[in-house]
Amino acid sequence: LRQLEASQRTLLAEHEERIHLLEMERRRLHNDIQELRGNIRVFCRVRPLLPEERERQRGMPHLHFPPQDARSLVLTRPDDSQVGRERRAELRYDFSFDRVFPPGASQQEIFREIQLLVQSALDGYPVCIFAYGQTGSGKTFTMEGPAPPGTPESRGMIPRAVRHLFHGAQDLAGKGWQGENWGFQRGFMGKFGDSEGELQVPNLTWVPVESEEQVLELLVRAGSQRSVARTGLNERSSRSHSVFQLRIQGRHAARDLRCASSLTLVDLAGSERLEKSGSVGNRLRETQSINSSLSALGLVISALCNK
């Protein structure tokens, strides 16, 4: 019996070592694939028409989604020729993205595209995903889902990412990994600076969490404090940038290994054209500040792309 027990222990240790090596190889290959697909990716989502928009226009004939190419979006418009000038063919503008989602795309389809990036955060790589666009284009719905919360199918990217992370953590626990400090940050950004190599944002709340339910409760609480206002372009325009960050730290005690990363999901305030927003006074200065901050972000992304 002792010999059998010793043999089984040896066999078990060999299996555990093999599982560990396979897990580390999976992480390496997963990260290689993500880097090959691009460390910076841009997706385009076109939301459906709202009921009042359907009354004003007949569909979206100016938008075309090539069926054979999920990365392209074509915009067209008739050429407004003047009297006495020969009429030309309609103007055409071709755009390319890493992925284009037409109005019929579901929340699940969107998350399926970013799910592997969320897995990268669990594997120890920092990941940031943000929604950028004009006010009323559906950024908050995409990132957080409807308010108040609707069906499970309408859940946004943030609650879906949280669920994926906690389910993934349970799988890792079976491989010897234990979460040391699941952290949660959610705030509305003002001025910020860099301290000791780590971004510090004043007045953000840091809360340790142990379950998906705790995070979702904090999301509801934080969302109720977010600044929104009515403008000429949107009944409930987000007037602040919403930053959600989940910090992940894990430890494999038997192998003395540690893993640390962060998943940052951002719902940016929407850009607006001043002549269409009708903003005046404080709301005007607010719109100008939002547009300026989004322009600065564009410069940062361009610099990263150009290394």
All domains of the chain, ordered by start, with CATH? 106-191+203-227+236-271 (3.40.850.10)
What is the per-residue pLDDT for 187? 47
What is the per-residue pLDDT for 26? 86
Q: Binding site annotation covers 139? A: yes
Nearest residue to 105 (alpha-carbon basis) of 150, 148, 138 = 138
Q: Is the peptide bond before 148 cis (omega within 30 degrees of 0)?
A: yes
Read off the pLDDT band of 10 (50, 70, 90). very high
Give tens-digit pLDDT for 91-128: 899 999 999 999 999 999 999 999 989 889 888 889 99
Read off the pLDDT band of 86 (50, 70, 90). low
Q: Binding site annotation covers 140? A: yes
Read off the pLDDT band of 193 (50, 70, 90). very low
Give tens-digit pLDDT for 200-253: 667 677 778 888 888 888 888 877 777 666 655 556 556 678 888 888 887 777
Mean of the per-residue pLDDT values for the chain? 81
Q: Binding site annotation covers 134? A: yes
Sign of the alpha-carbon dihedral angle for 291, 297, 300, 306? negative
Best-predicted range by mean pLDDT (22-26, 68-72, 300-304): 68-72
Read off the pLDDT band of 81 (50, 70, 90). low
**Adjacent-strand bridge partners of 183:** 208, 247
Nearest residue to 120 (alpha-carbon basis) of 231, 38, 1 = 38
Contact 233, 276 (CB under 8 A): yes
Read off the pLDDT band of 260 (50, 70, 90). confident
Distance CA 22, CA 18 (A): 6
Contact 245, 263 (CB under 8 A): yes
Strand ranges for 10-88 from DSSP E: 43-45, 63-64, 72-77
Q: Binding site annotation covers 136? A: yes
